[in-house]
Structures are given as structure tokens and as C-alpha cells.
Amino acid sequence: MEIQQPIIIFSDLDGTLLDHYTYDFTPAKSTIAQINTLNIPIVLTTSKTLVEVTTLQQNLEITSPLIIENGAAVYIPKDTFKEQPIDTVCDGNYWVKSFCPDISHWLTIIEQSPKEFNGLYRGFSSLSIEELVELTSLTPKGAESAKCRQYGEPIHWLGDSKSKELFKQYLTDAGANVLQGGRFFHVSGDCDKGKALTWLATQYQTLLYKDLLDGESITTIALGDGENDMAMLQAASVAVQVRSPVHPFPSFPVRKLDIVQTRKFGPEGWAQALQTLLATQFSSESQYNQITNSINSEAKHG
């Protein structure tokens, strides 16, 4: 199958490609396989660490670049492009572009917070594996991977919402960027999934698809369910808000381009939205029918 124009898919994990409660991705499996055969990159764009996401990526059978820790860094497998992307460093089999200072900088700021906040929060790095397992329903091995953070510190808030806002204000004044995730808020630098998306899309545009695009912008599809996905959805050509079982769709401050809101939750909504979007990208009728038939048969089974 040939697509009419190059596309890159950027996808959040928790609550989007992975079920909010069970972390299951079975309903998206056949769609991932289909996208792989079309050579469309699926860039996992997540608050997770490199260690966590590489294991998941293998299970998902995806080999594209990764955006980790809420856009703090982009990890690009060295065989993605013929040359080293600008402003990157080498880390094993990856070229790495980072967008903010590393974790030690943010831990110092948190440790220096006023005494009034003592006992009102727990940071990831101070939690034992057992405590983390209890808070997240991760397995012990998963919790260990989650603790390998390089660029920021997730905070579990124990106090009331008023003191939480004051704490967030202290962090912001100290130069941190605070992002509300599903279960934690993340303290990191001035990075977000949107900036990382824009940077990586530019690398694809200049290093891989230059001739094919002939001056046109590359098409980016972003999928996410939470507040921490909004910058990414804002930056993409097509934004897919995946329905969450625990909160309403976050609203866009300003949005002019295409927005899709899924009817189904998590990985089921993910698959259905991409099936529909990709079907519109196929030129010949037979290819289009093949795709729509597969949506219909999925709908029957779902």
C-alpha cells in the first residue's frame, strides 16, 4: 500500500494507547500492525521514562523514535535517518535531543521548598518500590523502571488543593514547569510534548521526506487523553482526543485545525480514530474499502 503523503503519528500511552485501569492494549494491536506495514512511524510520546517505554515499545512491536518524560527528551534510533540530527548527542543506539536540565536540578528545588509543605507530598525518588506499586498498580518490576527518571520528578500530593496550588506556585517561581498527569504532577523544565513533536517532525521533514514533500509541511496526527497532551495536540496537524473513563475531554484554549474526539475509551478509541483517519489518506478505492471493511468488522466484534 502507498500513502499519498508522509504522516507521523504521535501517541500518548496511559489512558490513550493503554487502558487507564489495566494498561491493556489488545484492542489496538491489529491497527498497530497495519500502520507498521504502511511504514508510518508511531512515536510513543509519554510521561514515562526511557527504561519503561523501551520495554513497552517492544511489546507493542513499534520501532520508531520515542518522546519521554513529557517531552524532556527525544530518543531516535540511529537507523531512523541517514545522518545525525542536529543538536543531538549519542547514547548507545540512539541520538538524543534533550529540552531541559536533568533531575538533580529539580530535586534541589523541591528540597529547598518552604517548611510549610513538609509532609504534604511524596516525590517519586523518595518512594520505595512497594509504595509505588501501591500508588500506581504497577508491577514491582514496572515500578523500578518508573523510578529511572532522568529529567524530572513526579509528585504525589497528600495535602489539600489550596496548599497544592501554593506548592505549584513555589515551583513555578523557581523556574520549574508543572504538569498535571493522571496520578501525579510532574516537575520538570520548560519542555512539553508539543515542542518535542514539532522538533522531531522537522527532523523527518528535512532528513527523510524532503523530496517527497516538495516544500509542503509533513502531516502529524497526535493522540492523547490528558492535560499533559494538550501542547502536543495543539502542535499537531490533526488532534485526536481519546475519551477517558475518569475525566471529561480537556478543552483547547485556541484551536483552528481538525479535532477528533473518540466515542470509545483508551485503546479502542485510539484504533477506531486512526482507522478512520488513515482511510482518508488512501488514494485507490480498493485500499479504502479494505480499511473500511476492517473498521466494520472490528465494530461488529467490539
Per CB under 5 A, residues contacting Mg ion are 12, 14-15, 225-226
Question: 226 and 12 in contact (C-beta within 8 Å)?
Answer: yes
Q: Please identify, using beta-carbon distances, which residue of 14 and 80 lies nearer to Mg ion.
A: 14
177 backbone dihedrals φ, ψ, rounded to 5°: -110, 125
Give me the helix-helix angle, 29-37 and 285-301, nearest 10°: 170
Query: What is the grid cell recorded at 266?
Result: 483508551
Q: What is the CA angle 230-153-162, rounded to 5?
A: 70
CA distances from 7 to 102, 145, 230, 294 (A): 31, 31, 20, 21
Please enumerate in sequence order all residues whose Cβ is within 8 A of that of 103, keeping only pairs 6 or more positions apart, or say none. 125, 149, 150, 151, 152, 153
Nearer to Mg ion, 17 or 218 (CB): 17
User: In the complex, what is the shortest distance from the CB of residue 16 to Mg ion, in angstroms, rounded to a whole number?
Assistant: 5
List the one residue out of 156, 134, 155, 153 whose CA is nearest residue 143: 134
CB of 225 to Mg ion, least distance (A): 5
Nearer to Mg ion among residue 15 and residue 189 (C-beta):
15
Within 10 Å of residue 227's Cβ, how many Cβ atoms? Answer: 14
Closest approach of Mg ion to the CB of residue 196, in Å = 15
Provide, rounded to whole angstroms, the least separation between the CB of residue 70 and Mg ion. 10
Residues 54, 100, 174: CA angle, nearest 5 degrees? 130
As measured in angstroms, the least distance from the Cβ of 246 to Mg ion is 10
Could you tell me the three cell numbers for 18? 493503554
Give the CB-nearest residue to Mg ion: 15
Cβ closest to Mg ion, residue 180 vs residue 198: 180
User: Of the two residues 44 and 155, which places its CB atom closer to Mg ion in the complex?
Assistant: 44
- Of 6 and 269, CB closest to Mg ion: 269
- Complex with Mg ion: residue 12 or 268, whichever CB lies closer: 12
Least distance in Å: CB of 232 to Mg ion? Answer: 11
How many Å from the N-terminal Cα to the C-terminal Cα in the chain?
26
* Residue 57, C-alpha cell as written in the block: 515499545
In whole angstroms, the minimum distance from the beta carbon of 12 to Mg ion comes to 4
